[in-house]
Amino acid sequence: MTTDKGENTSNTVTVYSPATVANMTCGFDVLGFALDGPFDKMVITKTERKGVEIINKDDYNLPTKPEDNIIGVALLSMLKQVDEEIGFKVESTKIIKPGSGIGSSAASAAGAVVGANNLLNNRFSQDELMEFALDGEEIASKSRHADNVAPCLYGGISLIRSVEPIDVVRIPAPILHVTIVHPQIEVKTSESRKLLGDTVPLKDAVTQWGNVGSLIAGLYTSNYDLIGRSLVDVVVEPFRKKLIPMFDEIKAASMIAGSLGGGISGSGPSVFMLSKDAVTAKKIESAIKEVYKNVDFEFNTHTTTISNQGVKLEY
Amino acid sequence: MTTDKGENTSNTVTVYSPATVANMTCGFDVLGFALDGPFDKMVITKTERKGVEIINKDDYNLPTKPEDNIIGVALLSMLKQVDEEIGFKVESTKIIKPGSGIGSSAASAAGAVVGANNLLNNRFSQDELMEFALDGEEIASKSRHADNVAPCLYGGISLIRSVEPIDVVRIPAPILHVTIVHPQIEVKTSESRKLLGDTVPLKDAVTQWGNVGSLIAGLYTSNYDLIGRSLVDVVVEPFRKKLIPMFDEIKAASMIAGSLGGGISGSGPSVFMLSKDAVTAKKIESAIKEVYKNVDFEFNTHTTTISNQGVKLEY
């Protein structure tokens, strides 16, 4: 396995595209990070026929018509910039469940464009790949948001200063462990958006941008106490948490177990909680399982870390 | 001249307290920085009579009754925590014009408490000094805001994550030059507040906290381009700029002269523009003078730098 910096002399590449967490507590719509798993897998082959062919190797029954598929839209967007008569065949094995709130659509979009670019000898820049991937992301989430796509492409923590034009700042992160719980209920991003309203109290907005600023400072200085104090969301979480069963209880139990803080992953329903070490991440996982022990829905949990690597390639 | 770390064996200290800029563009209510001048001067003497005596050595006719005076309120707040029968006499020479928008009241409050603490062998912590100074600041600005007091105390750039409880993050700054213009018109902080309304569009709030985050990142990495791109205020400036004569023209001329960006200092009427070097700061000053050449009000300009030192003591 290597990164896309290397030269691939074959016509096929295997892509591993990580799950990501957008809306990092106070950083609604601007901060996201890459996880060290789960990963979607795609095998992409360069073909001599213009266009995209998608073969699903999983049970999600996603559309195979390229115009209706995230991978397809992202690759068609790229192919518009390619003069040669070439195309791509993609065998897609989705591991990141669509709708789980940990960047399933971004993993498809970002993974596809990085893999395809590798087969084109990396002719496109990172900014160009970002735009192609955002075209794909847009059909899934109905909004051009980059806080999953950027960390999926780059790894680590991304700050999206602006989407149009795209301006992404890569933020260095100290070691951070992540506990994810995915209650298997359906949360539609569009409904989740509606809960927010169009305006926020100025007072709360000030609190939020104070926390965004201090979170960035905490990340640059590996100041875990400051990171913890900054992981507060007074704007979005108070409304959206209603969508997540027992959100307050999960969070309280996680904090008691030693979490630095956390929140709703993307627009949910997954919830992430950050911690300094693997032992604490596991304790948090147990605490969450305890909270959910009698619930009447399926859920799963896992622990991982913020990964400094985004999409990985193997060839 | 030395800092307040040293031991002062006399009963008198001379304090130089710097001007500061609050509301650093996108950082409304959370970011402020200290200037390398102008400085207020205070000569503070420890006396054997409980209470505060204020003697004004300037022409501003500020109240001398301690309860009505910023210096007085800050020192009375400190003296409440002092058991001994002591007090302070303060000879105050204000250089920073009250109402100019570059932290005149904070300079009084912060300077007084740092000087007095020196005469008490530094018995109070920085956080305690902050609270005393905020008590003083509060009577002037009718709000407990720390984005002038904190940089005045600490120097450099301060991020106010929270006021209650106080949580200030000191942000390292690369060399930044500052051009200040002070149109001598009256802007009341309370009126300036009213212009804002109580709510802000969520979309604008997101833009703002993206910029706060990237400004902090730019400061940590001395990335002047990023600092410049982040110095955008979509929430406050569009409303408050109406209070500043020819604000758009000043800013446009400054940007053409090479400024990284800037904005209204505090709630105005002063305006600050940042730049990378002294030559550019002077060019900006000239450009602003040119814009203002035919105005019917007095104004003054000066160039300085962001100073990493706050209140200075001499004894």
Chain B partners within 8 Å of A162 (Cβ): 207, 210, 229
Q: Give A176's pLDDT tier (boundaries 50, 70, 90).
A: very high
Q: What is the pLDDT of residues B240-293, one digit of tens each?
A: 999 999 999 999 999 999 999 999 999 999 999 999 999 999 999 999 999 999
**Does the pLDDT of residue B1 top 60, yes or no?**
no
Q: What is the predicted pLDDT for the residue at A158?
A: 98
Q: What is the predicted pLDDT for the residue at B191?
A: 77
The number of angstroms, rounded, from the C-alpha of B203 to the middle of its chain's C-alpha atoms is: 29
Q: What is the predicted pLDDT for the residue at B2?
A: 47
Q: What is the pLDDT of residues A33-47, one digit of tens each?
A: 999 999 999 999 999
Q: Pick B220's closest partner by Cβ from A31, A208, A220.
A: A220
Which sequence positions of A are flagged as catalytic? 137, 189
% of chain A beyond a pLDDT of 90: 90
Cβ pair A213:B162 closer than 8 A: no
Q: Coil, helix or strand for A135?
A: helix
What is the C-alpha to C-alpha distance for residues A184 and A121, in angstroms, rounded to an integer?
40
% of chain B beyond a pLDDT of 90: 90
Chain A partners within 8 Å of B203 (Cβ): 198
Mean pLDDT, range B10-14, rounded to an integer = 95
Mean pLDDT over each residue of chain B, to the nearest integer: 95
Mean pLDDT, range B11-15, rounded to an integer = 97
Residue matched to tokens 């500061």: B20
Give the chain B residue whose CA is nearest to the CA of A219: B217
Is A211 an interface residue toward B (CB < 8 Å)? yes
Residue B230 tokens read as 């982040």
Q: Give B6's pLDDT tier (boundaries 50, 70, 90).
A: low
ipTM: 0.95
Give the H/E segment covering residue B18.
Answer: strand B12-24
Selected for mutation to probe chain A from B145, B192, B206, B230 (highest A CB count within 10 Å) is B206
Q: What is the pLDDT of residues A106-149, one digit of tens each?
A: 999 999 999 999 999 999 999 999 999 999 999 988 888 999 99
Is B173 an interface residue toward A (CB < 8 Å)? no
Q: What is the pLDDT of residues A61-85, one digit of tens each?
A: 999 999 999 999 999 999 999 999 9
Residue matched to tokens 């799963």: A300
What is the C-alpha to C-alpha distance for residues B193 and B198, in angstroms, rounded to an integer?
10
Residue matched to tokens 């006021």: B163
Q: Give A6's pLDDT tier (boundaries 50, 70, 90).
A: low
Mean pLDDT over each residue of chain A, to the nearest integer: 95
What is the C-alpha to C-alpha distance for residues B104 and B152, in angstroms, rounded to an integer?
10
